[in-house]
């Protein structure tokens, strides 16, 4: 997203603040109004409560857009992407192992430490935004984890869209995408019906991404309104509980990226931490600064060349496999969902936690390359966790006050994942002469 903003600034000649700076300004402005006016009327009867409702409306639109966006993103990716069968299988296996380790780590932290309990009883500050909210879980666990996952298999084509069933939507998209790809490859002459179907899918995806860009422009307005209302009712003390959320998320990301990745690169990929982290520092720092693993791809490829990783493995991992190398997003989404569930006092079974993990993994794979992907899939993962809609709508704008920090960490983790996958894909290859610095632009 950061790189897109810079390109827009260059084209228009205007200086546009990055989204995270806009969010920070919105937080400061909303907090100021909340402290200054509380729940009293100002400006001709306007109240902070009304600003809060406006903010929740924006988040509702974001949640509504997420389902069709992920649906068409997956179909579009299946149609466009071509991966060699042998290398594709190896790529998939490596990514599955990495994300499994990430999810195990996330679940271990959340179940042993239980940081969400620090918010227990304080979520009422958020629930007061919507009068009459009931904190009843919308997900009823069964006696077996597989039954919980099976409950998300769609019964009809329309059902996943109406119920915001992210797992069902992704499964449906995978089936339709595979069918369209097969028909498109086997059909002979140009101008076929399937060509028009492919064209329509690609245009629909492009339009949805453009609409998303428009909605993101007003996200700071949503944050401004919700913060004004929350601070107006609860005071500035509502921010005192955010630090525990920030620490928990960053801890999980740090352990996975700074301990697991270097060790695997060293013992399996034969790249020491000095090579993996040292030679990859440019890509990691670029991702942290621009908050986009996709925009960092050219730098990632250059760093992998310095590590003497083959161009084929580098491109397969960083370009083609970008839909799968999303450990940062999936780890964050699962941990955030469990955090809020603990804050509400939900006793999550193993089956429910597996549903959250599955939703995080497949949603993360579906939104690769989409601006502000974490913001898009968060409502859907929280829905899979069984959290009430009112809690989801009320909590997301508050979480966004620190999400800009976590988002940069997620992008850094995703880039480190790209580099690790490339190194592992290349493991066992006959090494060539080391790449000299002069060959790297």
Q: What is the structure's pLDDT at 371? A: 59
- Predicted pLDDT at 132: 40
Single out the residue of 369, 400, 364, 414 nearest to residue 384, CA to CA.
364
- pLDDT tens track for 41-71: 888 888 888 888 887 788 778 778 878 887 8
Which residues of the chain, if any, have pLDDT below 50?
1-8, 10-12, 129-139, 141, 190, 432-441
State residue 187's pLDDT score.
60
Q: Are 74 and 177 in contact (CB under 8 A)?
A: yes
Nearest to 4 by CA among 373, 347, 290: 290
Q: What is the per-residue pLDDT across 107-150, written as a single tens digit (0 to 9) for each?
A: 999 999 999 888 887 666 555 544 344 444 444 545 555 555 55
Please report the domains of the chain, with CATH numbers, ordered by start residue. Answer: 18-439 (1.10.3860)
pTM of the model: 0.77
| HEC sequence for the chain | CHHHHHHHHHHHCCCCCCHHHHHHHHHHHHHHHHHHHCCCCECCCECHHHHHHHHHHHHHHHHHHHHHHHHHHHHHHHHHCCCCHHHHHHHHHHHHHHHHHHHHHHHHHHHHHCHHHHHCCCCHHHHCCCCCCCCCCCCCCCCCHHHHHHCCCCCCCCHHHHCCCHHHHHHHHHHHHHHHHHHHHHCCCCCCHHHHHHHHHHHHHHHHHHHHHHHHHCHHHHHHHHHHHHHHHHCHHHHHHHHHHHHHHHHHHHHHHHHHHHHHHHHCCCCCHHHHHHHCHHHHHHHHHHCCCCCCHHHHHHHHHHCCCCHHHHHHHHCHHHHCCCHHHHHHHHHHHHHHHHHCCCCCCHHHHHHHHHHHHHHHHHCCCCCCHHHHHHHHHHHHCCCCHHHHHHHHHHHHHHHHHHHHHHHHHHHHHHHHHHHHHHCCCCCCCCCCHHHCC
- pLDDT, one tens digit per residue, over 88-98 is 788 889 988 99
């Amino acid at each position: 997203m950061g790189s897109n903003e810079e390109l827009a600034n260059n084209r228009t000649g205007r200086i546009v603040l990055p989204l995270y700076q806009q969010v920070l300004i919105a937080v400061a402005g909303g907090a100021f109004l909340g402290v200054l006016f509380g729940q009293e009327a100002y400006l001709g009867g306007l109240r902070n409560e009304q600003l809060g409702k406006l903010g929740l409306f924006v988040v509702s639109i974001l949640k509504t857009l997420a389902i069709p966006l992920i649906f068409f993103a997956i179909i579009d990716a299946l149609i466009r992407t071509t991966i060699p069968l042998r290398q594709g299988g190896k790529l998939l296996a490596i990514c599955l192992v990495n994300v499994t380790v990430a999810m195990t780590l996330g679940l271990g932290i959340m179940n042993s430490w239980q940081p969400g309990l620090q918010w227990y009883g304080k979520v009422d500050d958020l629930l007061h935004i919507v009068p009459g909210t009931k904190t009843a879980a919308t997900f009823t666990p069964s006696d077996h984890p597989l039954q919980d996952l099976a409950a998300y298999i769609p019964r009809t084509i329309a059902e996943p869209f109406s119920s915001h069933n992210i797992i069902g939507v992704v499964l449906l998209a995978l089936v339709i995408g595979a069918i369209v790809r097969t028909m498109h490859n086997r059909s002979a002459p140009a101008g076929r019906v399937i060509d028009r179907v492919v064209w329509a899918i690609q245009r629909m995806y492009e339009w949805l991404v453009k609409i998303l860009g428009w909605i993101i422009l007003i996200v700071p307005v949503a944050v401004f309104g919700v913060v004004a209302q929350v601070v107006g009712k609860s005071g500035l003390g509502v921010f005192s509980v955010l630090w525990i959320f920030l620490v928990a998320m960053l801890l999980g990301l740090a352990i996975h990226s700074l301990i697991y990745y270097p060790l695997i690169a060293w013992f399996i990929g034969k790249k020491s931490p000095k090579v993996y982290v040292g030679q990859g520092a440019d890509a990691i720092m670029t991702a942290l600064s621009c908050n986009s693993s996709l925009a960092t791809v050219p730098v990632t490829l250059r760093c992998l060349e310095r590590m003497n990783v083959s161009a084929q493995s580098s491109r397969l991992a960083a370009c083609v496999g970008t839909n799968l190398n999303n450990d940062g997003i999936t780890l964050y989404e699962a941990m955030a969902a469990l955090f809020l569930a603990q804050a509400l006092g939900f006793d999550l079974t193993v089956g429910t936690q597996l549903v959250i993990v599955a939703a995080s993994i497949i949603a993360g794979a579906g939104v690769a390359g989409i601006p502000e992907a974490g913001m898009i899939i968060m409502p859907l993962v929280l829905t899979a966790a069984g959290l009430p809609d009112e809690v989801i709508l009320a909590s997301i704008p508050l979480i966004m006050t620190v999400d800009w920090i976590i988002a940069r960490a997620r992008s850094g983790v995703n880039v480190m994942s790209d580099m690790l996958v490339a190194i592992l894909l290349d493991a066992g290859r006959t090494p060539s002469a080391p790449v000299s610095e002069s060959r790297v632009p």
